[in-house]
Amino acid sequence: MRFSVPVVCALLFAQSVPALAALGAAVGPASASGTVQQADSARAKASARVSSYNGYTVSETVKPSGTTVREYISPANIVFAVSWQGPDMPNLQELLGTYADQYVSAASAPHAGRRAVAIQSDQLVLHSGGHMRSFAGSAYVPSLLPQGVTPSDIR
């Protein structure tokens, strides 16, 4: 049975653990809508680790399924990049935030025999691909990269 790319994207968006903050957004306290409270509950089921590097922080969450999601946070407390790898896709709608529409548009475009999605623009660089039980990808906002951080630092 084969599904179209938009159907797969919609299914993948609906099943995953919420992120700490979306790409390009500030990491901060809970919103009035309770979204962060739901995220906290879901996150409690996953293991998390925070590491500091040269001027930025990486928040790594491993979901119960085994998928690892990393959020790269600048000194200004902004998520400038995200990456994922594992047996299922993270919730890209929440991970990508306002950039999710670009991903959906690129994923919906006709692809000749390939399932990978790539976006390379001044606003967003994204690579996503894989197959059942093995997905990987990353996205970053070039204008938000802290000084001294290169795209190769995002893994």
The tens digit of pLDDT for each residue in 43-65 reads 545 677 888 888 899 999 998 89
Q: Does residue 154 lie within any of the structural domains?
A: no
Q: Does residue 4 lie within any of the structural domains?
A: no
Q: Does residue 2 lie within any of the structural domains?
A: no
Q: Does residue 14 lie within any of the structural domains?
A: no
> Quick one: tokens of 82?
């995200």
Please check whether residue 140 is in contact with residue 125, taking contact to mean a CB–CB distance below 8 angstroms. yes
Q: Which domain holds residue 140?
A: 25-146
Q: How many domains, in total, are found in the chain? A: 1
- Tens of pLDDT, residue by residue over 65-85, are 999 999 999 999 999 999 999
User: What are the helix (H) ranges across 23-114?
Assistant: 35-44, 92-96, 100-108
Alpha-carbon distance 138 to 81, whole Å? 7
> Quick one: tokens of 152?
């190769």
- Tens of pLDDT, residue by residue over 95-111, are 999 999 999 999 888 77
Output the pLDDT for position 32.
40
Q: Does residue 12 lie within any of the structural domains?
A: no
Alpha-carbon distance 140 to 144, whole Å? 8
Q: Taking Cα atoms as reference points, which of 35, 31, 23, 30 lies closest to residue 101?
A: 23
Q: Does residue 18 lie within any of the structural domains?
A: no
